DNA sequence: AATTGTACCTGTCAGC
DNA sequence: TGCTGACAGGTACAAT
């Protein structure tokens, strides 16, 4: 579910509410979600008790809660994870797997229907133990993500551009929805081999990555099924999608029917006219 | 090294 | 009305 814009929206919604608050206790209903300390709810709880929350950061699709004493709580929402800030008296919904009790009568609750979420509690010096986080590639909205950097990353790789965009070790934070929207804006077919892109196409791709992710954040993320921010509010970017989930509908630019096809195991939505495959030259 | 398949879960929806 | 199977915003790991 949540890709970079959704995770960033959650971060922005939670940070002002959590900054300066302390975690007085933790309820763990599904210990297997805790990857570090592995499946160990007791150690997890003990190390969180009484810790002040200094700051919330985001890296790719990971949220990092910087705590007192160099502890960092790292959460990945995967497909259906939600982090919700609410009054301690609110009824606990089904699929609520962790509850962080705060010192202001409020809770931060981790809710996850599919139980794919990943939770880690590490000291700052041990952050690299979280492999998925340590291996993340460039942060796409940072200024150091340039056309030169993108060309360098592509190198002689000949995988499909859609698959390339989804690899977190190259660019951190793009998922299936934004990958399709990015390729539509860049007018590139999802199956185009990435090393076959012209310099002009790479520049279009770079701009599309930055544009679509920025717009996604501006509209508070894409709420199709499950996604909500830290206050339970839906995003609005689903109203601004051009291709994702629109197979059979006319392209908003040319009227051609949007197609859907599996690319690298993931459904991909694209306009066969606007995103025509290059002819071999 | 690069790529593909499978596993992890529950809920929803289309088709019968 | 069920029932069944396919599918879902992601990634870790195994197999090739």
Contacts of A124 (CB under 8 A, 6+ apart): A70, A71, A72
Which of A13, A20, A11 is CA-nearest to residue A76? A11
| Residue whose token pair is 């160099």 | A70
Nearest nucleotide (CA of A163 to C1'): B3
Mean pLDDT value across residues A254-263: 94
Whether CB of A266 is under 7 Å from strand B: the answer is no
Confidence of residue A281 (pLDDT cuts 50, 70, 90): very low
Query: How large is the average pLDDT for residues A3-25?
Result: 98
Among residues A3, A37, A9, A6, the alpha carbon closest in space to that of A130 is found at A37
CA of residue A37 to C1' of nucleotide B10, angstroms = 25
Place of tokens 């999802």: A190
Rounded Cα–Cα distance for residues A177 and A215 (Å):
13
d(C-alpha A111, C-alpha A84), whole Å: 8
Express each pLDDT in A33-76 by its tens digit: 999 999 999 999 999 999 999 999 999 999 999 999 999 999 99
Terminal Cα distance for chain A, rounded? 38
Backbone angles phi, psi at A133, to 5 degrees: -80, -45
DSSP A65: E
CA–CA distance, A275 with A96 (Å, rounded to integer) = 42
Consecutive H or E run containing A48:
helix A41-48
Alpha-carbon dihedral sign for residues A193, A253, A212, A228 = negative
Mean pLDDT, range A25-29, rounded to an integer: 98
Q: Give the residue whose CA sits closest to C10 at C1'.
A: A78
Nucleotide whose C1' lies closest to the alpha carbon of residue A78: C10
DSSP string, A70-85: GEEEEEE-TTTEEEEE
For residues A231 and A85, the answer to whether their CB atoms sit within 8 Å is yes
Contact criterion met (CB below 8 Å) for A196 and A189: no
Per-residue pLDDT tens over the stretch A199-251 = 999 999 999 999 999 999 999 999 998 899 999 999 999 999 999 999 999 99
Pair of tokens at residue A53: 């929350």
Q: What gap in Å lies between CA A63 and CA A73, rounded to an integer?
A: 8
Residue A21 neighbours by CB distance under 10 Å: 17
Strand C nucleotides in reach of protein CB atoms, 7 A cut-off = 7-13
Nearest CA to A44 out of A75, A21, A18 is that of: A75
Q: How far is the CA of A179 from the C1' of C3 (A)?
A: 36
Question: Which backbone phi and psi does A114 adopt, to 5 degrees?
Answer: -90, -5
Q: Which two tokens stand for residue A97?
A: 């797997």
Residues within a 7 A CB radius of strand C: A 1-3, 6, 60-61, 76, 78-79, 114, 116, 118, 131-132, 135, 166, 168, 175-177, 221-227, 266-267
Query: So which residues of A are the catalytic ones?
Result: 2-3, 61, 266
pLDDT at A279: 65
Do residues A189 and A277 make contact, with C-beta atoms less than 8 angstroms apart? yes
**pTM given for the model:** 0.97
pLDDT in tens, A70-127: 999 999 999 999 999 999 999 999 999 999 999 999 999 999 999 999 999 999 999 9
């Amino acid at each position: 579910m949540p890709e970079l814009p959704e995770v960033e929206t959650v971060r922005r919604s939670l940070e002002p509410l959590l900054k300066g608050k302390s975690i007085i206790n933790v309820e763990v209903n599904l210990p297997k979600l805790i990857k570090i300390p592995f499946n160990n709810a007791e150690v997890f709880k003990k190390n969180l008790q009484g810790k002040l929350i200094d700051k919330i950061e985001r890296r790719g699709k990971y949220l990092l809660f910087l705590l007192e004493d160099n502890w960092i709580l790292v959460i990945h929402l995967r497909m259906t994870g939600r982090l919700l800030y609410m009054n301690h008296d609110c009824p606990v919904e089904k699929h609520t797997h962790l509850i962080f009790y705060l010192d202001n009568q409020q809770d931060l609750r981790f809710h996850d229907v599919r139980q794919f979420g990943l939770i880690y509690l590490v000291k700052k010096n041990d952050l690299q133990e979280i492999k998925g986080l340590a291996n993340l590639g460039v942060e796409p909205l940072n200024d150091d993500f340039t056309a030169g950097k993108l060309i360098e990353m592509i190198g002689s790789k000949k995988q499909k551009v859609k698959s390339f965009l989804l690899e977190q070790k190259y660019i951190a934070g793009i998922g299936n929805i934004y990958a399709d929207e990015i390729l539509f804006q860049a007018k590139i077919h999802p199956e185009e081999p990435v090393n076959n892109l012209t310099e002009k196409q790479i520049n279009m791709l770079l701009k599309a990555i930055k544009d679509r992710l920025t717009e996604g954040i501006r509209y508070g993320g894409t709420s199709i099924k499950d996604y909500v921010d830290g206050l339970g509010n839906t995003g609005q970017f689903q109203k601004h999608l051009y291709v994702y989930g629109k197979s059979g509908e006319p392209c908003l630019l040319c009227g051609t029917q949007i197609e859907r096809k599996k690319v690298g195991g993931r459904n991909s939505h694209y306009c066969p006219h606007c995103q025509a495959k290059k002819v071999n030259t």
